[in-house]
Structure 1
Amino acid sequence: MTISSKKLLFVIFLALLLSITNLHSQSEAEKITNLIEQKRSFNKKNKSSIVYKIQLYNGNETEAYKIRSNFSTSFPEYNTKIIYKSPEWKTQVGAFNTRLEADRVLNIIKEKFVGAIVLEDKI
């Protein structure tokens, strides 16, 4: 076998190897695309909405209602709720769609209610 035929055989081997690798990577890309579509479909079917709430207080009932009254006087544009989860009462504000929106309102509220925090809640 001559050197040129060895080179030709080597080039053919490399071309074959590259084509197999290319086919494999295409099938991997198709699998990834398929998985992404499955995930999107799953998310649409199993939708659990996440909202963000600002918690002003967590403690006894009397104080929870007192803080709600003070808050409603200072910020009448926001809705407040009193929630009881044994053994504590919580005073919460709003149901914001994004964390950014909740954080913006939190910055305003923190001027008067220093201990306020943002919580994530599933509905």
Structure 2
Amino acid sequence: MIRIVFVIIVGFVCSFAVAQNKSGQEFFSNLSEQKEGEGFLSISQPEDIQDLVGIHLDCNKRAGGVDGFRIQLFLGSGKDAKKQAGEVKAKVLELFPEEKIYLMYEAPFWRIQVGDFRSKSESLQLYRELKKEFPSCYPVPVDNIQMSNLK
């Protein structure tokens, strides 16, 4: 019985290592691929580096998102907080219809956040524009932003 479990575990570990190496190899082969009208890049490194890059790429794919920033326009609690949050959202939709707006409730707080940015510096342009209408807004760190949402 122990022998069977050991064989299964070794099989999983080997298949995981092969998958990691494949991701790393694909990444580096895509970089090194010569395309018409473009330059050529030659990369030389130990195979272990390819394996590490593959592990990193696969972990990022499994996470589903990245840490980033949004601009927080409203944070409130109390009996009127939901209504106030709705009013702020309506104003943002009117003034900035192209921006992604998040209305969130996490007891006991209502929040309105705008945008999806990879870094704080990327959020500053929108922050400056929003600051004119919402003087108390500020950038906030956010976990697990979907890559497709990033600007």
Give TM-score scaled by structure 1 length: 0.62
Structure 1 moving runs of 4+ over 3 Å? 37-46
Size of the aligned set, in residue pairs, is 90
| Letter in structure 2 aligned against 1:44 | L
Relative to structure 1, is the Cα distance of residues 45 and 55 closer, same or farther in structure 2, using a 3 angstrom cutoff?
Answer: same
**The residue matched to 1:111 in structure 2 has which SS?**
helix
Inter-partner Cα distance in structure 1 for 2:118 and 2:141: 10
Aligned to 2:73: 56
Deviations 1:29-72 (A, max 9, x none): xxxxx9xx597566434335112111100111110010010111
**The residue matched to 1:103 in structure 2 has which SS?**
helix
Larger Rg over CA atoms: 1
Give TM-score scaled by structure 2 length: 0.52
* More contact order relative to length (CA 8 Å, sep ≥ 6): 1
Relative to structure 1, is the Cα distance of residues 117 and 42 closer, same or farther in structure 2, using a 3 angstrom cutoff?
Answer: farther
Q: How does 1:61-76 map to 2 (within 5 A)?
A: 61-76=82-97
Report sequence identity in percent. 20
Aligned to 1:98: 119
Q: Which moved more, 1:98-107 or 1:38-47?
A: 38-47
**The residue matched to 1:122 in structure 2 has which SS?**
strand
Inter-partner Cα distance in structure 1 for 2:75 and 2:87: 12
**The residue matched to 1:78 in structure 2 has which SS?**
coil
| Letter in structure 2 aligned against 1:46 | C
> Any unmatched runs of 5+ in structure 2?
1-45, 145-151
